[in-house]
Amino acid sequence: MLKQLNFKNLLASIMLGVFAAISPPAMATNEAMLDLLEILVKKGSITQGEYELLVNASKADGEKVEGNINEMKAKVAKTTKKMPKITTKGKFKVASQDGTWEWQPIGRIFWDSMYVDNDGGTLEDNGEELRRARLGFQGKVKPMSYKLELDFANSGTPSWKDVWLAYNGKTDAGKWWLKIGQHHVPFGHATISSSKYMTMMRRPLFADGPQLSRNVGIAGRFQSKAKNRWFAHAGVFVPGLSTASDETGQAATDRRTTAFRVGGTPYYKDKNHLLHVGFSYQHEEHKGDAFSNIDNTLLTHIGNGDSLEANFGTNADDSDAFDIEAITVMGPFHGIFEYVTWDVSDPTGGDVDLSAWAIDAGYFFTGESMKYKYGAWSGIKPKKPLGKGGLGAWQITARYENMDLSDMDNTGGGNTSTADDGGEADVFTIGLNWYPTSNTRIMADYSKVLDFSHVDLAGTANDAVEPAAFQMRAQVYW
């Protein structure tokens, strides 16, 4: 009977050993299994020789299984060595294992709604608008990088945005690139910062009109090795690709533009506590093209488009623009000051000086900070995104701005293409931004014209007209 019992115990032990051998190595050689065999040998259920045999067999089989797994891992690594890596966290990107090339689809969609009180005038329009609908791609094949993007928001007719190829390099002092194609003209902060990240629905008045956004040209940029400490950006440009006129409403047939921008952070504690200062200069040869320095609404993008206008017709010879900027990020608070002046040379009417400035500020109730990247804004990542234990990021913003085109006086002769003085306006805007996730945002802005003076082409004064507007935007980008 004892022999029969010992045989049953031995059989049970062998089965345990076999189960351990075909299990993962961690289970085959774990302490619990060895403790069990030790208990069995102490109770006399198995002999010392049987115990040693089972222990050695278990360890040997475990090593064999582990060796097979390591061999399989090596084969998988070898097979997938040349397969591209795919990133899906926050963006979709395909890249080589060694980082020599990558490709990423990009796009953005903005839908705007506007509700206007015209204060008895007709300067602004109510309505809704697909403000941006962009699709494209970007990437690199070292040492080159590239980008192509089209916007379909203008009645479905595509217009070219970024279309460029760049050569990238680096030295002991920092990184540099040389870019050719259609890309940003290096002038000022407000225009060169992407619409995906600007804190209000509308850029300042001076950035929506006279400052060029993109043109075709060649430009170079150098940035310091120490992150966000300083940069220099310069280029020469000719008119852009998409239409017969650029974003300022100026005929674009024979113009030439030279521009540069330099900036740095004299105070830089960390990425959330810094002070940036910058300077830009731009010279344009108009060569007989019509030059309308600004043709812009005061509050909305879909207004009449002639609230402020300094139109030189074909009289302007050349112009020089100067821009100074200061940006601060102090934890959840940020502030921006930017001042721009234009000196337009008119051989028939004399030089004209035009100017504009804006002060912006914002504060995150939820503790985030604006992301500064070499003189421009970048994307916000909520600390607690919606759907992941939080309600996203919440930010309040405000801006006071002035634009003065009143030096444009045509009544004394010279600039005979218009009869107005260009106008002057003060506008205040307050906004609330909600970032549910890092790639989405809901914006709400209320804007009010505080002071406005302008005589239109028919000689009608608009001094008493001070419209207001409430606007909302839903945006997503990738």
Q: Answer whether residue 59 shows pLDDT above 90.
A: no
Q: Cα–Cα distance between 49 and 71 in angstroms, integer?
A: 33
Helix axes 2-22 and 31-42, enclosed angle (nearest 10): 170
Backbone Cα Rg of the chain: 33
Q: Answer whether residue 440 shows pLDDT above 90.
A: yes
Tell me the pLDDT tens digit for each residue of 129-171.
999 999 999 999 999 999 999 999 877 678 899 999 999 999 9
Q: Cα–Cα distance between 356 and 342 in angstroms, integer?
A: 9
Phi and psi, residue 410, nearest 5°? -100, 0
Tell me the pLDDT tens digit for each residue of 247-266.
444 445 667 899 999 999 99
Q: Answer whether residue 294 shows pLDDT above 50.
A: yes
Report DSSP state, residue 313: T
Rounded to the nearest 10°, the torsion over CA 112, 115, 116, 117 is -160
Q: Report whether 372 contacts 276 (CB < 8 A).
A: yes
Q: Report whether 33 contacts 20 (CB < 8 A).
A: yes
Cα distance from N-terminal residue to C-terminal residue, the chain: 76
Is residue 416 very low, low, confident or very high in pLDDT (cuts 50, 70, 90)? very low
Residues across the chain: 478
At residue 8, the pLDDT reads 46
Pairing of the two strands 424-435 and 101-117: unpaired
398 Cβ contact partners less than 8 Å away, ≥ 6 residues apart: 360, 361, 362, 428, 429, 430, 431
pTM, 2 dp: 0.79
Tell me the pLDDT tens digit for each residue of 441-462.
999 999 999 998 876 656 666 6
Query: By percentage, how much of the chain surpasses pLDDT 70?
Result: 78
CA dihedral sign of residues 305, 306, 312, 314: positive
Q: Answer whether residue 471 shows pLDDT above 80.
A: yes
Task: Give bridge partners of residue 137 from the DSSP assignment.
Answer: 105, 148
Q: Cα–Cα distance between 243 and 118 in angstroms, integer?
A: 31
Query: By percentage, how much of the chain surpasses pLDDT 90?
Result: 50
Report DSSP state, residue 316: -
Q: Answer whether residue 405 shows pLDDT above 80.
A: yes
3 Cβ contact partners less than 8 Å away, ≥ 6 residues apart: none
Give the CATH number of domain 85-477; options: 1.10.10.10, 3.40.50.150, 3.50.50.60, 2.40.160.10.
2.40.160.10
At residue 314, the pLDDT reads 67
Q: Cα–Cα distance between 108 and 162 in angstroms, integer?
A: 13
Which helix (H) or strand (E) covers residue 56, if one does? helix 48-79
Degrees (nearest 5) of the Cα angle 379, 399, 127? 80
Please give the residue that has the higher pLDDT: either 350 or 354: 354
